[in-house]
Structures are given as C-alpha cells and as structure tokens.
C-alpha cells in the first residue's frame, strides 16, 4: 500500500480540485429545493383557481337564494375570458332585460337574456349536463373532461364567477360579474 499525498488526491479528483466539496453540493441541492418550493407556493397563491367546484346542490341553493332576494331591476356587467373573451352589460327592469351590450355592441334581441341572472343559471345547469358526457353532449374528443367551478353571491345568490376548465380539447369558459347594482 502506498502512502497517498493529499495534494495528489486532490489533483486526481476534479470535484475536489475545483473546490466543490460534499458540503457545497448539499447547500446547492438545498438551494434548488428551496427555489422549487417557493415557485410552487407562488403558483398556488397567485395562479391556482380557488373557485369552489360547481355541484347541482350548490346551483339549486344559489337559485333558491336568488328567488328569495332577487331585485326586480338591476344593472349587471360581466367580464368574459377564455375561448371567447369580451364583456357584457345589461339593464334589467321589472324582471325584463331592457338593454344589452356585448363587447359594446347591441346583440340580437333573442340573446339578451343569456347574460341575465336567470340566463346565467340556465347556462350553469346546461354546463352540468355537458360535463357528464362531453363527447356525446358537445362532440368533444374522447377523453375530454370538464371541471366546473362557480362562486355565488351570498346575499343575492347570483353567479359571481364561473370557470369551465377543459382537458382534451373542449373550449375554456371563464366569466365573472364585475358589477351588480340592484335598482
């Protein structure tokens, strides 16, 4: 057995000769792990959708709240995102839509009710049916799944936010009420 000179060992091991030690590698690994944890926390706080899952029970409860508290007249503005971004603004007087604009334009009168609160409830009801079998109901690709999320106003029950996230090729739908003013 030969006696090894410490300087010879360092010269033959590039990791040790470049100044990297096990301790430095450990510190570097911990640093990378911390960066990953911070990024995951950032995504969870600022990106994750915390809107509650839409269920038939939640929809029914919100509709019941609306039926008890609904004002006969209201103004409503909606911000639309997803596959067809835009905006909608309605005036409802005595339960009837009297004015509607979508992206600043007056749409055909037959679609005015779509963005009224009862129209939103009808849309969410239809979305629950679509989510049961997207392939049959909307001609989506096999394997398509829809995740439906909605948040309802606690006082009036109207849908404040709706988000349909789709995997497998169906379009995303995302809207939120930006202003609701009872009259």
Report the alpha-carbon distance of residue 19 to residue 88 in Å, rounded.
Answer: 63
Cα–Cα distance, 130 to 146 (Å, whole number)? 8
**Least confident segment among 37-46, 104-113, 170-179:** 37-46
* Residues 150 and 67 occupy one common structural domain: yes
Instruction: Write out the two tokens for 127.
Output: 């979305």
Q: Are residues 62 and 38 in the same domain?
A: no
3 state DSSP class of 78: strand
Domain that holds residue 31: 6-46
pLDDT at residue 45 greater than cutoff 50: no
Same-domain pairing of 73 and 104? yes
- The model's pLDDT over 99-136, given as tens digits with 9 standing for 90+, comes to 999 999 999 999 899 999 999 999 999 999 999 999 98
Give yes or no: residues 73 and 133 share one domain.
yes
Q: Is the pTM of this model over 0.95?
A: no
pLDDT of residue 30: 80
Whether 171 contacts 133, CB under 8 Å:
no
Structural domain count of the chain: 2
Q: Are residues 104 and 77 in the same domain?
A: yes
Mean of the per-residue pLDDT values of the chain: 85
Residue that the structure tokens 């349909």 belong to: 164
Residue 51 included in any domain: no
Same domain, 25 and 94: no
Pair 78, 126 in one domain: yes
Mind listing the pLDDT tens digit for each residue in 144-158? 999 999 999 999 999
Task: Please state, in angstroms and rounded to a whole number, the distance separating the CA atoms of residues 149 and 135.
Answer: 20
Phi, then psi, of 164 in degrees rounded to 5: -105, 115
Same structural domain for residues 26 and 63? Answer: no
Q: Given a cut of 90, is residue 44 above it in pLDDT?
A: no
Are 97 and 28 found together in one domain? no
Please check whether residue 41 lies inside any domain of the structure: yes
Residue 76 has pLDDT above 80, yes or no: yes
The pair of structure tokens assigned to 138 is 């909307």
Tell me if 1 is assigned to some domain: no
Cα–Cα–Cα angle for 86, 88, 92, rounded to 5 degrees: 175
Q: Which two tokens stand for residue 155?
A: 């006082």
Q: Which residues pair with 86 in a beta bridge?
A: 80
**What distance in Å separates the CA atoms of residue 150 and residue 144, rounded to the nearest whole number?**
20
Of 49, 61, 60, 72, the C-alpha closest to 162 is 49
Does residue 131 contact residue 150 with C-beta atoms inside 8 Å?
no
């Amino acid at each position: 057995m030969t006696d090894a000179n410490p300087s010879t060992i360092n010269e033959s091991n590039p990791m040790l000769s470049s100044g990297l030690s096990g301790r430095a590698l450990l510190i570097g690994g911990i640093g990378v792990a911390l960066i990953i944890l911070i990024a995951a926390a950032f995504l969870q706080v600022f990106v994750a959708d915390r809107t509650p899952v839409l269920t038939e029970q939640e929809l029914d409860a919100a509709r019941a709240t609306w039926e008890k508290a609904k004002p006969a007249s209201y103004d409503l503005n909606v911000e639309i995102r997803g596959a067809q971004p835009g905006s909608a603004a309605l005036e409802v007087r005595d339960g009837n839509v009297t004015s509607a604009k979508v992206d600043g334009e007056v749409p055909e009168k037959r679609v005015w009710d779509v963005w009224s609160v009862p129209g939103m409830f009808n849309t969410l009801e239809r979305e629950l049916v679509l989510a049961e079998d997207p392939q049959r109901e909307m001609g989506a690709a096999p394997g398509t799944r829809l995740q439906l999320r909605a948040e309802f106003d606690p006082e009036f029950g109207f849908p404040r936010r709706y988000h349909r996230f789709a995997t497998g090729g169906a379009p995303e739908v995302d809207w939120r009420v930006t202003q609701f003013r009872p009259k």
